[in-house]
Structure 1
Amino acid sequence: MIAKNIKGKSFKGCVQYVMNETAELLEAEGVWADTTKNMIRSFAMQRSGRKEIKQPVGHIPISFAPEDKERMTNDFMIQLAKEYMQEMGIKDTQYIIIRHHNTDNEHLHIVYNRINNNLKLISVNNDYKRNVKTCKKLKDKYNLTYGKGKDRVKREKLNNPDRVKYLLYDVIKAILPHCTSEKEFQGYLQSKGVNVEFKRRRTTGEIEGISFSYDNVSFKGSQIDRKFSYGNLQKSFKENIELLQQQASREPQREMPAPKGQQPIENKPKIRSIGGVKLTPEQWQTLEEGGFIHLEDINKSDGKGKFSSYIFLNDEKDKAFSCKDNPNGFIKYGKYEMRIRDKILIENGYVTKAKVKWYGIGTFAYPYLWKENKEDIKYKESWGEPRITKIEKENKQEKQSLSQQPIRKRPRPKIG
C-alpha cells in the first residue's frame, strides 16, 4: 500500500482526471454525484466560502501490491480509504472515492475538500511523515504486502517530492559501491547537480548527519533509504576500501588487454594524415580536444577505392576510428544509452570514459566502460579509473620482487 498527498488549485481539473473512462465511483460524501459536472459544482460551492485559500483541493492516490489483488473488493477498498482519511485528520468534509481499472496494480483516488463543512482549513502539516506512519499502520493491521524494494517503483509516474526521492536513490545506489571517501562521494554527486550537506554537532563540530537536495527538494539520507544515513555511508566506504585491499592482495593488477577486432585507421603518436588525407592544424586540434571531423576521399585499407567518414580519436589520442554516423549521436547498448563513439571503442577492447544518458536526472553520467574480450556479451563498468599505468605496474612488480627476496643473515662477529 502506497499513498501520496497532493494539493491543488482546481477541482475541475482534478475531478475530470480521476473520473476517466475506467473510473468506478465507490462512495461520495457531501456532493451531488450524478454527473462529473455536479461533483465539480458541489466542491466549488463549499470552496467559495474561503476564497483566500489558494490550494483547496486534496487528492490522494492509493495503490496496492499485486499480491493483494484478490483481496481488493470495493467494500475493502472503501474501508481502507476511510480509515486512511481518519488517521490523516481528513474528516467533516466533502469527498469522493474512485477506483481505477487502467493498470495492473489495484488503486483508488480520494478527492476531498480541504475546506471542511465548517469552513475550516484541513491542515497538511507534516503530511509526508503522517502518510508513511498511516500506511504502515494499515498494512500491519490488515496484513497487506510490503513493497519489495524501491527498484520496482515506476519512476515515470512519480511527482515531486517522490520523483526527487527516487532519483536520489538511483544515483546514490549506482555510485556508492565505487566510493571510498566522503570527498569522492560528495564530488561525484555535486557534479550531477545534487547538493550534499553535513549536519554537525554544535558542541564538537563532529558530523552526525547528511542530507541531499535536488531541484529545490531535500531529504535526509535516512529518509531516502536507511542505507544512506551518515553512519551507514561511513560503513560502506570502509567496506569498499577493505574489498579493494582484498582484491589487490589476491591478484596482481594488470594493464587492460590490447585492442581486438577492427583495426584503427592509424596507429601513430601524432596523427597528421588519415588514409592519405592530410589533416589541417585545426582538424588535428579538434580531434585532440575530443571532437570529431568529417573527411572525404579516404583511401580504403585494401587500396580499392575511397570513402567518406566521420573521424574521432580514442581517449589516449593516439588512434583514430571511422564512423559513418555522427559519433556523438546516441545509441542503446547494453544497460546504457551512450554515444556511438563509446560503443565502437568498447567493442574494440578499449577502456573509455563513456558519456551516457542518466535516467531521471535529465543529464549525463560518465562511467568507465570496457570489455576484456571482444566476444563478451556484457561490458564491465567502473566509476573510478580502472586502468593502471606502466610505471605503476613496474613499481608494484618491483616491490613484490623485493618482498619475496630472502633476508640474508649477517655472520655474528667473533669475540676474543
Structure 2
Amino acid sequence: MIAKNIKGKSFKGCVQYVMNETAELLEAEGVWADNAKEMIRSFAMQRSGRKEIKRPVGHIPISFAPEDSHRLTCNFMLQLAKEYMEEMGIKNTQYIIVRHHNTDNDHLHIVYNRIDNNLKLISVNHDYKRNIKVCKKLKDKYNLTYGKGKSNVKREKLDNPDRAKYYIYDAIKSVLPNCKTPTDLRFALQELNIEVEYKHKRTIREIEGVSFRYDNISFKGSQVDRKFSFGNLQKEFDKNIELLEERTQEQKEKQLSKVEQQAEDKLKLPVIGGVELTSEQWHTLKEGGFVYLENIRKKDGSGLFSSYVFLNEERNKAFFSKKNPDVFVKFGRYEMCIRDKILIENGYVTKAKVKWYGGEFAYPYL
C-alpha cells in the first residue's frame, strides 16, 4: 500500500482526471455525485468560503501490491481509504473515493476539500512523514504486502537530487495508468508541478526521448527509472489504449444486454397489491418517479386503499405514501423529500435530496 499526498489549485482538473472512463465511485460525502460536473460545482461552492487559500484541493492516490489483489474488494478498499483519512486527520469535509479499473495495479483516488465544513483549513503540515507512518500502520494491521525496490525506499530521509527524483518516480507511477498519449502524461504531471520536455528527432517530429523537471532539478526518463524511458512509456500508452478499447467493447455489450432485458421486461409487467401496472406506470417507477394507484389490496386482506407508490434504488421493493413523495418535510436536522424519509425509516441508505443553503439542494448519503 503506497499513498501520495498532493495539494492542488483546481478541483476541475483533479475531478476530471479521477473520474475517467474506468472510474468506479465508491463513496461521496457532501457533494452532488450525479456526474463530474456536479462534483466540481459542489467542491467549488464550499471552497468559495475561503478564497484566500491558494491550494484547496487534496488528492491522494493509493496503490496496492499485486500480491494483495485477491483481497481488494471494493468494500475493503473503501475501508482502507476511510481509515487512512481518519489517521491523517482528514475529517468533517467533502470527499470522493474512486477506484480505477484501467490497470492490473489495483489503486484508488481520494479527492477532498481542504476547506472543511466549518470553513477551517485542514492542516497538511508534516504530511509526508505522517503518510509513511499511517501506511505502515495499515499494512501491519491488515497484513498487506510491503513494496520492493524503489517503493521501499524511505523518502523522508532523502535530500535533493534524490528527493526530487523519487517524487517524480512516484508521480509518474501514479498517473501513467490513465495516460494514452505523451500529451496526457504532460498534463497529468503539470498538476503535480512537474515539467515534461520531449526530445524530437532532427529530421522528423517523432519523439525519441523525455526528461522531467521538479524543484529546478531535471532528469532523463531513464535516470528516474529504466521503465520511464520514452520507448517504455510509449509501450504503456499503447497498453492503456488497448485496455480502454477492451473495456469500451465490454460496456457496449453490457448496454446491449440491458436493452434486450428491458425489451423482455415489457412483456412481464409487475403487479403491486393486486393492481397490474401499465407499461407507462412501470417505466415511470423504473426511472425513479412515482405513480398513484387505486384499489390496492392490503397485505392482511382486510380491504383496499389508494396511495402514491415509488420504488427503492434497487427497483425491487415498492413503498407507499399518502402524500406526494417529492414534497419536502422536516426530518431530523434536514428538510428532505418524503420518499427519502420513508426509505431511511425503513433502514435503507439513500442519496437524499435535502434543501441546502441559498436555495440550493444537496444529495448526502443518509
TM-score of the superposed pair, with normalisation by structure 1: 0.39
Higher helix share: 2
Identify the structure with bigger relative contact order (alpha carbons < 8 Å, sequence gap 6+).
2
TM-score of the superposed pair, with normalisation by structure 2: 0.44
